[in-house]
Amino acid sequence: MESALLLEKTILVVAVFAITLFIAMYSTLVERKVAGFMQARFGPDRAGPFGLLQPLADGGKFFFKEEIIPAGAHKALFIAGPTIAMFTACISSAVIPWGQELTIGDRVITLQVADINVGVLYIFGVVALGVYGIMIGGWASNNKYALMGAVRAASQSISYEIGMGLSLIALLMVTGTLSLKEIVAQQEGFVNWNIWVQPLGFLIFIVCAFAECNRVPFDLAECETELIGGYNVEYSSMKLAFYMFAEYINMFVSSSLMAALYFGGYNFPFMYDLGLSQNWITIIGVLVFFAKILAFIFFFMWIRWTVPRFRYDQLMRLGWKILIPLAVANIVLTGIVTIVKDTYF
Amino acid sequence: MSIFYFVAFLSIFFALMTIFAKNPVHSVLYLVITFFTFTIHYILLNAQFLAIVNFIVYMGAIMVLFLFVLMLLNLNKDTEPLKSNLVKVMGVIAGMCLLVTLAGSFRVLQATGVDIVENTEIGLVGNLGKVLFSEFLLPFEISSILLLTAMVGAVLLAKNDPKNA
Amino acid sequence: MQSLSNRKKVLEQKPMNFWERMYLPAIARGLSITIKYFFQPKATYKYPEVQRPYSKNFRGQHSLKRDEEGRERCTACGLCALSCPAEAITMISAERQKGEEHLYREEKYAAVYEINMLRCIFCGLCEEACPKEAIFLDGSHVPPEQLRKDFIYGKDKLVEPRFDYKKEQETIA
């Protein structure tokens, strides 16, 4: 029994890893395709049909590029930077519930790697840790632009973590649990999705998610025009690829988090009215979940090719003076509504 | 138990490395690892909430700020001020005094015997919340007011005096 | 400062109202614009497979024409070189010998005719100056080369291939 559980979890972990890496890999192609389509051109279409082999070509190129470690760099930390970035990006997907139970024979398999009862906080902590990769890499490069990027990443991540945490507190007041599995299970069907009760919280959360992922319009840590690439200026070869990959994995994880927290995760409308067996509901649920995630990833890219980058003071003003008060107001509002609902209805 | 000893060894090792590291940035990074081992200790004690809060607040926020400040300060070997021998001797004496005080207080505490917590589930979020908001409501609120005071003070310090600006 | 011309327009910048300061409507409008472009047909030509048609009055690489019997029309008068604003054209003339009537139409012809494609600005003045209708800019783009000397086109590249007009007429008939 114990070994069966171990085997089952191992398969799940490997599958989640493979899917995460696959989606991150193809996000790079989709990003360029979306960029092209929004600028009235095609994007890469030479490697394979529709450019589908482009990520492989890019990967091969990254592998064969020369690895440069600058003379003044701190070697151990220089290597540790991208490693930490990649590691923290990968482990954050452990608590996301990908689907309900699958029943094979008489075994019930839960499609979640680990259901810890502080799941939301776990992701929050790992995301907070992710900035170390950027900071250490930027500092170890011994380059002023890299250092500026690292410092910006640190202050930005800390500022927006507060807004993100406060917007999550309002959500947790509604759900009453920190376990992601229970949060998703509560949002059965369509009308129970948390987005209907927490629209303002979701807005704050998505803005903070953009900032935490270092995506446009908050990519101040790596803006080309000011910092010629920011924290990854001195990086080349696979180490640079790790940084870029970590960014796309972060994007995937925060998309799945938004889908799970606010958009019902694997739940879809009329899921129990169609007369399907539990296994079919689970399988369709997983597909629906991935469709939601991909929609969010598309939204990330859509925003990237629409909104220009914020100036640094604007970034800080938005974070501290607008999002945090809004999030606090949202908490108070949620509390009032909860009390009124409990006493009068 | 062996896990505990291993993790405890790691925490002490990295805590010592924090002190002995020459480079301040390395020192902070060792401190981060020390906090990480504390998180593991909390998990071993089944205090999940405390573990994750330690993880988020200390590792994720406070140490990032430490690192942030150190990176901006640009501390090198040649900017380090020379400490006179007198300061070193005073430091040793102060350290010894602290050690003696700590050892004495532990001896006093030891007499009451080891407390055994009956409820091992106390560290989980729900139970902790219930205890904090019923039994310990007053201390909890007072400590939150203390934090608020600190925050207001920090904002006041950081704010420019309009007359000087 | 007082305006002298009295044509100065004072630009009025009103402070943004609450709706505008929220940025969200503006972002939504921006998103609608980009998604519109996402579904629009693309302006790109997939080059090697699909080639973009040239405009009707496109001026490309020069060609030196032949007449109906396949003789070179150029008489090396030098008017094209004279008219050229970029000084791109040089030539050396020669006299037609006996037995060369089937090669050159006029009694004088260009033994060497060179156009420096790096200097040429494709203005078409040589085409207009030519009294013998011998030069036209009706080719395609000048292809890239590795060396500068390769951009100096001689008669081997400029004269259009021999085309026997009479024989063609017969085969059509």
CA–CA–CA angle B150, B155, B160 (5° rounding): 145
Handedness of CA A245, A249, A254, A256 (dihedral sign): positive
C-alpha B138/C-alpha B130 separation (Å) is 13
Residue B23, pLDDT > 90, answer no
Query: Does A37 lie at the interface with C, CB-CB under 8 angstroms?
Result: yes
Closest by Cα among A173, A174, A171 to A200: A171
Residue C44 has its nearest CB partner, among A42, A302, A303, at: A42
Place of tokens 């100096």: C152
Q: Establish if B2 belongs to a structural domain.
A: yes
Considering just the CA atoms, what is the radius of gyration of chain A in Å?
21
Instruction: State the pLDDT at residue B100.
Output: 93
Do the chains contact at C30 and A307, CB–CB below 8 Å?
Answer: yes
Which pLDDT belongs to residue B145?
94
Site of tokens 């009124």: A340
CB distance B67–A154 less than 8 Å?
yes
- Of A136, A147, A161, Cβ closest to residue B61: A161
The pLDDT score that the predictor gives to residue B114 is 56
Going by pLDDT thresholds of 50, 70 and 90, the confidence category of residue B94 is: very high
Report the Cα–Cα distance between both ends of chain C, in Å, rounded. Answer: 83
Count of structural domains, chain B: 1
Q: In the structure encoding, which two tokens stand for residue A156, read together?
A: 């930005």
Q: For residue A15, tell me if it sits in a domain.
A: no
> Which residue is closest to A307 within chain C, CA to CA?
C27
Q: Is the pLDDT of residue C50 over 70?
A: yes
Q: What is the mean pLDDT of residues C101-126?
A: 89
Quick check: C159 and C72 in contact, CB under 8 A? Answer: yes
| pLDDT tens-digit series, residues B95-145 | 999 999 998 888 777 655 556 666 667 767 778 888 888 888 899 899 999
Boundaries of domain holding A239: 68-344
The count of CB pairs under 8 A between chains A and B is 61
Q: Is C89 in contact with C122 (CB distance < 8 Å)? A: no
Task: Report the gap between the CA of A274 and the closest CA in chain C (Å).
Answer: 34
**Contact assignment for B68 to A118 by CB distance below 8 Å:** no
Q: Within 10 A of A245 (CB to CB), how many other CB atoms are there?
A: 23
Cross-chain residue pair A306–C44, CB shorter than 8 Å? no
Nearest-angstrom CA–CA distance, A126 and B59 = 10
**What integer best gives the mean pLDDT of chain C?**
85
Residue in chain C closest to A322 (alpha carbons) equals: C22
The pLDDT of residue A191: 77
Read off the pLDDT of each residue in B47-73 and give the average, rounded to a whole number.
82
What CA–CA distance (Å, rounded) separates A6 from A11? 9
Task: Name chain B's partners: 3 or more CB pairs within 8 A.
Answer: A
The answer to whether residue A264 is domain-embedded is yes
> To the nearest 5 percent, what fractions of chain C are helix, strand and coil?
25, 15, 60
- Phi and psi dihedrals of B105, rounded to 5? -65, -35
What is the count of structural domains for chain A? 1
Supply the pTM of this predicted model: 0.78
Question: Can you spell out the DSSP letters for A180-223?
Answer: HHHHHHHS-TTTT-GGGT-HHHHHHHHHHHHHHTT-TTS-GGG-
Along the 345 residues of chain A, how does pLDDT read in single tens digits? 577 778 888 888 888 888 888 888 888 888 888 888 888 888 888 887 888 888 888 888 888 888 888 888 888 888 888 888 888 888 888 888 887 777 777 777 777 777 777 778 888 888 888 888 888 888 888 888 888 888 888 888 888 888 888 888 888 888 888 888 888 888 877 777 888 888 888 889 988 888 888 887 888 777 777 777 778 888 888 888 888 888 888 888 888 888 888 888 788 777 777 777 777 888 888 888 889 899 999 998 898 888 888 888 888 888 888 888 889 999 999 889 888 888 887
Position A171, amino acid: L
- Closest-CA distance, A126 to chain B, in angstroms, reads 8
Please state, as a whole number, how many other Cβ atoms lie within 10 Å of the Cβ of residue A325: 12
DSSP string, B16-70: HHHHH-SSHHHHHHHHHHHHHHHHHHHHHTT-HHHHHHIIIIIIIIIHHHHHHHH
DSSP state of C166: H
Alpha-carbon distance values, B68 to A224, A232, B17, B54, C59 (Å): 22, 17, 20, 19, 61
Q: Which phi and psi (to 5°) does residue C26 adopt?
A: -65, -40
A117, A129, A147: residue with CB nearest B124: A117
Q: How much helix, strand and coil, in percent to the nearest 5, is found in chain B?
A: 80, 0, 20
In percent, how much of chain C has pLDDT > 70?
A: 95
Sketch the domain layout of chain C as residue ranges: 63-172
Q: Is B155 on the interface with A (CB under 8 A)?
A: no
Contact call for B and C: 3+ CB–CB distances under 8 Å: no
What integer is the mean pLDDT of B66-71? 81
Distance of alpha carbon A116 from alpha carbon A200, whole angstroms: 27
- The answer to whether C40 contacts A41, with C-beta atoms less than 8 Å apart, is no
Q: Which residue in B64, B75, B124, B147 has the most chain A C-beta atoms within 10 A of its own C-beta, making it the best mutation to test that interface?
A: B64
* pLDDT in the model for residue A161: 86
Ordered DSSP codes for A13-50: HHHHHHHHHHHHHHHHHHHHHHHHHHTTS----SSSGG
Band the pLDDT of C146: cuts 50, 70, 90. Answer: very high
Residue B150: which pLDDT band, with cuts at 50, 70 and 90? Answer: very high
**How far is CA B92 from its chain centroid?**
22
Q: Is A177 exposed, middle or buried (0-12, 13-18, 19+ CB in 10 A)?
A: middle
User: Which neighbouring-strand residues pair with C93?
Assistant: C110
Contact flag C38-A39 (C-beta cutoff 8 Å): no
Q: Does C42 touch chain A (CB under 8 A)?
A: yes
Going from the C-alpha of A341 to that of each of A176, A197, A262, A336, A337, the distances in angstroms are 15, 13, 21, 8, 6
Q: Is residue A44 domain-resident?
A: no
d(CA A344, CA A334): 15
DSSP reduced 3-state for A228 = coil
Q: Are A153 and A138 in contact (CB under 8 A)?
A: yes
How far is the C-alpha of A33 from the C-alpha of A334, rounded, in Å?
A: 41
Q: How many CA atoms within 13 Å lie on the side-chain side of A207?
A: 26
Long-range contacts of A26-34 (CB under 8 A, 24+ apart): A26/A55, A27/A248, A27/A251, A27/A252, A27/A297, A28/A54, A28/A55, A28/A58, A28/A244, A28/A248, A29/A54, A29/A55, A30/A297, A30/A298, A30/A301, A31/A248, A31/A301, A31/A304, A34/A298, A34/A301, A34/A302, A34/A305, A34/C38
Residues with Cβ within 8 Å of A315's Cβ and at least 6 positions away in sequence, in order, are A156, A159, A211, A218, A220
For residue B62, the enclosing domain spans 1-77
- Position A150 scores a pLDDT of 84
Examine the pLDDT at B164 and tell me if it is beyond 70: no
CA gap A304, A34 in Å, rounded: 10
In a domain, B102, yes or no: no
Distance in Å, alpha carbon of B86 to nearest chain A alpha carbon: 35
- Chain B 109-128, residues with CB within 8 Å of chain A CB atoms: 124-126
CA distance, residue A204 to nearest chain C CA (Å): 12
Distance spanning both ends of chain A, measured CA to CA: 47
Classify residue B57: in a domain, yes or no.
yes
B25 found inside a domain: yes
Distance CA A240, CA A246 (A): 10
Please name which of C78, C84, C72 lies closest in space to residue C137, comparing C-alpha atoms: C84
Q: What CATH number does the domain located at C63-172 have?
A: 3.30.70.3270
ipTM above 0.90, yes or no: no
pLDDT of B98: 93
CA distance C68 to C165: 5
| pLDDT at C92 > cutoff 70 | yes
> Among residues 44-103 of chain C, which lie with CB inside 8 Å of chain A?
44, 46
From the list A202, A203, A135, the residue with the least C-alpha distance to A174 is A202
CA-to-CA dists, residue C80 to B3, C86, C105, angstroms: 93, 11, 18
C118 CB-side CA count, 13 A: 9
User: Cβ of C33 under 8 Å from any chain A Cβ?
Assistant: yes
* Contact (Cβ atoms closer than 8 angstroms) between residue C116 and residue C151: yes
**Interface contact C42-A37, CB threshold 8 A:** yes
pLDDT for res A9: 81
C31 close contact with A: CB closer than 8 A = yes
pLDDT at B142: 93
Identify the contact set of chain A against chain B, taking CB-CB distances under 8 A. 77, 116-118, 121-122, 124-125, 127-129, 131-132, 135-136, 139, 147, 150-151, 154-155, 157-158, 161, 178
Q: Looking at beta carbons, which residues of chain B come within 8 Å of A135?
A: 64, 67-68, 71
Residue pair C73/C66 in contact by the 8 Å Cβ criterion: yes
CATH number at residue B1: 1.20.120.1200
* A217 preceded by a cis bond (ω within 30 of 0): yes
Residue A105 vs residue C63, higher pLDDT: C63
Residue B35 lies in a domain: yes
pLDDT at B148: 92
